[in-house]
Homo-oligomer: A and B are copies of this chain.
Amino acid sequence: MTGDAVLTQAVDPGSDRPVYKQIADHLRDAIARRLAEGEQLPSEARLMEHYGVARMTIRNALRLLQDEGLVTAEHGRGVYVRARPPVRRLASDRFAQRHRKEGHAAFSVEAAQVGATPQVDMLTVTEGTAPAEIADRLRLAEDAPVVVRSRRYLLDGKPVETAVSYIPADLAKGTPITDPNPGPGGIYARLEEQGHTLERFTEDITARMPTPEEARLLALPPGVPVFRLVRTAYAVDGRAVEVCDTVMAADAYLLSYELPAH
């Protein structure tokens, strides 16, 4: 039967540690030692029988493991050791000018590296105002007009990242930046064509649990946090020309940076 090699231990009802945590410990250990990615755990019924406890106790144990991101439960099928998606490394040179010069946007460069099919989804371009936090980074008044480019990126059909770009309206108006498809090399290439040669970026990274909305958009299982990456692009004249607010499934990314020591 499924995953029976897991059923080896018993709980100590006299212990200080709650029974469901003891069971979670057993299962966590079994996952680390004996079970492969994608392998099925014994069903709740079998675990109840083995440990001699009520259903809720088993479910509490499994919930703990779900929250740690170790397993996913699939309704009607079973509970499985979570398979880690292939990690995409975001290297700090991914916005190098040479890529733009060659007509590649950052995301398509990244996709090509892992041999996946890139796709963009739910793309909207509107004009409006930026949230206070963003307007601040652009050194704009809160009611200053900005072009808002919102989109979702997919690799091989699976959503991996949402991004919202804010560009001061005076930089974007009358350029392909306001088109859904801004052309080869992406909006950074267009900004440079307008004479706003890019000098540097700053990236601010935080991590947290997703909102239900984010979990839906990124098709996130429970127990997976998200990265939020806010990138500000500066032109050679020091002006902030774009802010990009990105949310990514944290289990799918490794962010890599290089720092000088001097």
Give the distance to chain B from A101, nearest Cβ to Cβ, in Å: 11
Q: Are A95 and B261 in contact (CB under 8 A)?
A: yes
Give the distance to chain B from A236, nearest Cβ to Cβ, in Å: 9
Give the distance to chain B from A174, nearest Cβ to Cβ, in Å: 23
Q: Does A133 contact B (CB under 8 A)?
A: no
Q: Are B69 and A208 in contact (CB under 8 A)?
A: yes
Closest to A98 in B: B262
Q: Are A205 and B257 in contact (CB under 8 A)?
A: yes
Q: Are B225 and A207 in contact (CB under 8 A)?
A: yes
Q: Are B202 and A258 in contact (CB under 8 A)?
A: yes
Q: Which chain B residues border A209 with CB–CB below 8 Å?
A: 67-69, 223-225
Q: Does A259 contact B (CB under 8 A)?
A: yes
**Which listed residue, B205, B250, B254, touches A204 by the CB 8 Å rule?**
B254
Q: Does A203 contact B (CB under 8 A)?
A: yes
Contact with B along A232-262 (1 / 0, CB 8 A): 0110000000000000001101111111111
Q: Are B259 and A257 in contact (CB under 8 A)?
A: yes
Q: Does A53 contact B (CB under 8 A)?
A: no
Q: Which chain B residues border A93 with CB–CB below 8 Å?
A: 259
* Interface residue range, chain A: 35 or more
**Which listed residue, B199, B207, B251, touches A250 by the CB 8 Å rule?**
B207
**Which listed residue, B69, B203, B256, touches A202 by the CB 8 Å rule?**
B256
Closest to A202 in B: B258
Give the distance to chain B from A34, nearest Cβ to Cβ, in Å: 18
Q: Which chain B residues border A201 with CB–CB below 8 Å?
A: 258-259, 261
Q: Which chain B residues border A226 with CB–CB below 8 Å?
A: 207
A67-B209, A199-B261, A207-B226 given; 18 more Cβ-contact pairs under 8 Å: A56-B56, A67-B67, A68-B212, A93-B259, A97-B262, A200-B258, A200-B261, A201-B261, A202-B256, A203-B257, A204-B254, A205-B254, A205-B257, A206-B255, A207-B227, A208-B250, A209-B224, A257-B259
Q: Which residues of A contact B (CB under 8 A)?
A: 28, 56, 63, 67-69, 87, 92-93, 95-97, 198-212, 222-227, 233-234, 250-251, 253-262
